[in-house]
Amino acid sequence: MSNAQHSTFSNVSILHHPLFPINYEVLIKVLRITNSILTISVIMAKLLVLSLSLCFLLFGSCFAFRDQQPQQNECQFERLNALEPDNRVESEGGLIETWNPTNRQFRCAGFALSRATLQRNSLRRPFYSNAPQEIFIQQGNGYFGMVFPGCPETFEEPRESEQGEGRRFRDSHQKVNRFREGDIIAVPTGVAFWMYNDQETPVIAISLTDMSSHQNQLDQMPRRFYLAGNHEQEFLLYQKQQVRGKEEQESEGSNIFSGFKRDFLEDALNVNRHIVDRLQGRNEDEEKGAIVKVKGGLSIISPPERQPRHQSRSRQDEERWQPRPHKSRREEEDDEKHSRHHDQGGSRWKQDNGLEETVCSAKYRENIGSSSSPDIYNPQAGRIKTVTSLDLPILRWIKLSAEHGSLHKNAIFVPHYNLNANSAIYALRGRAWLQVVNCNGNTVFDGELEAGRVLIVPQNFAVAAKALSDKFQYVSFKTNDRAAIARLAGSSSTLNGMPLDVLAATFNLERNDARQLKNNNPFKFLVPPRESERRAVA
């Protein structure tokens, strides 16, 4: 097969790419010929601003639609529950727990939830889903990779010399990313995803799969398409329950290769039967499961550790890949800022080599954990950090966002509601007292949310929280990439937006009382505990 032919093929792949990017390159090139250099660079910067603004506007929450609405009455709750996972599937290298997606609260919210735990040196085998995922790393560090069709294999491993016949082969693959505690990872629909824990601490990852996304063209049941193994996908159980009335299905639980004829795969892949058998998961123990132990660990996927440190320090790409364990969190934070700047100013807008790299090198993760710089902060009350499509542009695509919060004991998150999103509040640490109110003014939740449980708060339902333990931490997944909340108390709240007289007439209050309502609470999101409570804590 000729070279020309090859390149035709890869061009085609690019054209088919789901995220065909903007060709800023052409723009930049032409502009370089222009003679007023100074002016131009200013213009450039502003053009980017324009594009980005336009982008933001267009991709903003006005477009943060979701495809599927719940059935009639599905969201008429008189009672919500804080839910634990109700099923667990053990694997060789960890376990996957799931919440029942056919539970009415999940059906109303339109998403599914699962939690994976990876032991040291364990690999979550590659799979893809028929809906976008948002993954939060509750604990641990490791590597993850996603395979985008049409993207080039940009990571080139050094030549192997240890093996004789390996000399001719130099492995290359798509980008491998490092994740750490507090990261949000965005996984688009249909894109194969794997992750690996190379550290001692087990990795715990909470994953929301947004079945109501417009990108899901199948029904509302979550599906995992595994590329390998001989085990049931973790949500199959619930599907079986739903169709129990029908004849027992003989789904032996296997991967997407196992359904093809053996001979056919030999031809299609041009490999021998032994390899095909492994691909199809034949003779593999079902107990091995979705997460497998890797003997001796994976070494090859951390190329930078092998690169010499004495090379030019100005090449930030390398700096990104220095061994992390030796760094303090502070340093990591800085690195991240660097690499982030690099991603946006460098890889995404200023590359020379064509169109495909821009999407292929987009950023798919963002840290919102306790070590990140908060968006909302009060040393007496706590901190909140959010990630929206303004922080992580890929979220525009999957129409999800997230919020991470940390409250001191007895601190209050003022009553508020999600303007344009459903949300799932997952408690990471400690416990809090939550109240949720529906449109009839009824309390649909009034209880504790403790670590490991999730509470689904439907759009527009009013919610408030008070931390009961020393440090209550949570992550909240939201079904809108520009999720917004409206606060019902405190400075700049909805009450403050109304004229005093309207407020007084609305609540049948004296003007003076209405004034108190507007002014008495100077805090916006988080209210610190009263003096007495604070002293009790200290």
Residues 266-295 that bind a second copy (CB under 8 A): 267-272, 274-275, 278-279, 281, 284, 292, 294
Q: State which of residues 87, 316, 322, 435 lies at the interface with a second copy (CB under 8 A).
A: 435
Asked if 204 touches a second copy (CB under 8 A), the answer is: no
Interface with a second copy by CB under 8 A: which range of 51-59, 81-89, 178-186, 310-318? Answer: 51-59
Question: Which residue reads 């344009």 in tokens?
Answer: 420
Angle 24-33/37-59 helices, nearest 10 degrees? 160
**Residue among 237 and 452 whose Cβ is closer to a second copy:** 237
Binding of residue 63 to a second copy (CB under 8 A): yes
**Residue from 349, 364, 426, 477 in contact with a second copy (CB under 8 A):** 349
Q: How far is the CB of 423 from a second copy (least distance, A)?
A: 10
Query: Are 405 and 368 in contact, with CB atoms under 8 Å apart?
Result: no
Tokens for 169, please give them: 């082969």
Annotate 243-303 with three-state secondary structure: CCCCCCCCCCCCCCCCCCCHHHHHHHHCCCHHHHHHHCCCCCCHHHCCEEECCCCCCCCCH
The answer to whether 179 contacts a second copy (rule: CB under 8 A) is no
Cα(494)–Cα(173) distance, rounded to whole angstroms?
A: 51
x/- mask, a second copy, residues 291-330, rule CB under 8 A, reads -x-x---xxxx-----------------------------
Q: Binding of a second copy at residue 199 (CB under 8 A)?
A: no
For position 356 contacting a second copy by CB under 8 A, the verdict is: yes
Using alpha carbons, select from 211, 43, 189, 70 the residue that is nearest to residue 127: 189
Q: Does 343 bind a second copy (CB under 8 A)?
A: no
Is there binding between residue 537 and a second copy (CB under 8 A)? Answer: no
* First CA to last CA distance, the chain: 75
207 binding a second copy? (CB under 8 A): no
Across-strand partners of 412?
466, 527
Distance CA 322, CA 217 (A): 42
What is the smallest separation between the CB atom of 430 and a second copy, expressed in angstroms? 18
From the list 176, 94, 188, the residue with the least C-alpha distance to 142 is 176
| Contacting a second copy within 440-479 (CB under 8 A) | 440-444, 446, 458-460, 462, 464, 466, 479
Footprint of a second copy on residues 482-521 (CB under 8 A)?
482-492, 494-502, 505-509, 511-513, 515-521
Within 220-249, the residues that bind a second copy by CB under 8 A are 220-221, 223-228, 232-233, 236, 239, 242-243, 249
Name beta bridge partners: 183.
367
C-beta separation of 175 from 320 below 8 A: no
Nearer to a second copy, 6 or 315 (CB): 6
Q: Are 462 and 493 in contact (CB under 8 A)?
A: no
Stretch that binds a second copy, among 161-169, 315-323, 336-344, 469-477 (CB under 8 A): 161-169
- Asked whether the beta carbons of 148 and 191 are under 8 A apart, the reply is yes
